[in-house]
Structure 1
Amino acid sequence: MLCIIRQETDPYFNLAAEEYVLKHFERDCFMLWRNEPSIIVGKHQ
């Protein structure tokens, strides 16, 4: 299992990174991050 721990708090980058990992990595991944205060609206949010 791949473990990704992000120190970046930019919500735009973190959501883009999450989508990239889900679409391009075939192995199991665990991604942990935190965002600066923000409102995230979406299908799975």
Structure 2
Amino acid sequence: MSKVQKSNKETKKQPALSKKEKKAAKDVKKHSKDTMQPFMVPKD
């Protein structure tokens, strides 16, 4: 009789975002800060 290996390991989960997607999201976040300047209204 041959031995059968039974693994109880869970399979690795696939990442929600790939490395490229993460980098793109980070860049968008970074640039959104640049474009959103504080709005100053002059007081009369």
Q: Same fold (TM over 0.5)?
A: no
Please, what TM-score do these two structures have when normalized by structure 1? 0.35
Higher RCO (C-alpha under 8 Å, 6+ residues apart): 1
Please, what TM-score do these two structures have when normalized by structure 2? 0.35
The structure that has the greater radius of gyration is 2
